[in-house]
Amino acid sequence: MYTIKPEKLEEILKSFQNRRIIVIGDIMLDEYLWGKVQRISPEAPVPIVEINTTDYRLGGAANAAVNLNALGAEVYLVGVCGKDSQARIVLQQLQRRKMSTEGIFLVPSRPTTLKTRIGSVSQQIVRLDREETSAIDSSVQKEILAYLTKVIPQCEALIIEDYDKGLLCPSLINEILHLAGKYNKMVAVDPKYLNFGAYCNVEIFKPNYRELEMYMGRLFSDNAEFERITADLRQKMNIQQFVVTKGSEGMYLFSEKKLVEHLPSFAREVYDVSGAGDTVISALTLAYLYNRDIETAALIANHSAAVAVAKKGTASVTIEEIRDSFDAPK
């Protein structure tokens, strides 16, 4: 199994500090309503949840930004929210972490994406999504591009967090990739299937296994078919590092250096997988910037995911937690 010497790990983790990263994508607010269930409703065969705890976490692109911030990076988050109470919570949570909100544009005509999870003890009962997924107006796209043009020269990499919520339409994606190319900035993409094929020529591309199947329009019959089709797709899209996460099976790396390499999961306890992909793309990007070694970066990202899924709700990880995960008995 691929490993990292402790002194090398320390060098890489220290390199995270003060790296300047742009995160552009769909910003969400995760609302958690927890309570106790003692009876079934007389109106319908559903549980009555007596809510006693309300918690808010940043989701989507904002969760990736929070993860980067927790690992020591300086983050420029770019996206849209509505002019509503949810947006105020998003801005307050970012400001509390002393993170810039200059790149967040408030659009009165669309709500802030809100995902409400209702649960009892440790069991989620239902999730309610309130969102607008139509493409943003061209005027908002111009504001976003103007902001990106201002900040991209001083940044080292750009992470695109595409959740198919309307921010990243094809025209804006093309402009973003053109801008990154103009300034020779590394691009890492965490895609959903709608714009999957729009991200050709990027350096890191990280779908999960299900998103890959949805884009291909088929279920893979076995691992051999998955590896063959993905390796071919990497070449067709001209992706340097094609990383596929596969839940409890860990992740698969496809590159010119190696056709495919499998890294098993290090998760010892899986409590909640919400936002784990955001954690992976954040740690993967920071570690990759150290020396462009995808195996080392993926190993660190894998340990980061193991930490994240052991937490309740959308969560970030710290340098200390990654270090502890490496030190834990395998």
Categorize the per-residue pLDDT at 3 as very low, low, confident or very high, splitting at 50, 70 and 90: confident
Rounded to an integer, the average pLDDT of 289-298 is: 96
Q: For the whole model, what pTM was predicted?
A: 0.94
pLDDT confidence of residue 330: 63
- Fold assignment, 6-27+59-112+132-327: UDP-N-acetylmuramoyl-L-alanine:D-glutamate ligase (3.40.1190)
Q: How far apart are CA 208 and CA 55, in angstroms?
A: 27
* pLDDT per position as a tens digit, 214-225: 999 999 999 999
DSSP state letters, 82-112: -SSHHHHHHHHHHHHTT---TTEEE-TTSPP
The pair of structure tokens assigned to 211 is: 């998103």
> What is the residue whose two structure tokens read 């983790």?
13
pLDDT confidence of residue 270: 63
* pLDDT per position as a tens digit, 59-69: 999 999 999 99
Give the H/E segment covering residue 131.
none
Q: Is residue 135 a contact partner of residue 166, using CB atoms and an 8 Å limit? A: yes
Domain boundaries, the chain: 6-27+59-112+132-327
Give the H/E segment covering residue 79.
strand 74-81
pLDDT confidence of residue 271: 59
> Catalytic amino acids?
278
pLDDT confidence of residue 313: 74
pLDDT confidence of residue 269: 67
The pair of structure tokens assigned to 22 is: 């742009």
Categorize the per-residue pLDDT at 16 as very low, low, confident or very high, splitting at 50, 70 and 90: very high
For the cut 80, the answer to whether the pLDDT of residue 251 exceeds it is yes
Q: Is residue 230 a contact partner of residue 277, using CB atoms and an 8 Å limit? A: no
- What's the number of CA atoms in the CB half-sphere (13 Å) around residue 280? 32
Backbone angles phi, psi at 21, to 5 degrees: -125, 135
Q: Residue 165 burial (CB < 10 Å; 0-12/13-18/19+)?
A: buried
Percent of the chain past pLDDT 90, that is, above it, reads: 86
> What is the residue whose two structure tokens read 């947006």?
87
* pLDDT per position as a tens digit, 68-127: 999 999 999 999 999 999 999 999 999 999 999 999 999 999 999 999 999 998 788 999
- Under DSSP, the state recorded for 208 is B
The alpha carbon torsion through 175, 177, 179, 182 (nearest 10 deg) reads: -140
* pLDDT per position as a tens digit, 152-191: 999 999 999 999 999 999 999 999 999 999 999 999 999 9
For the cut 90, the answer to whether the pLDDT of residue 34 exceeds it is yes
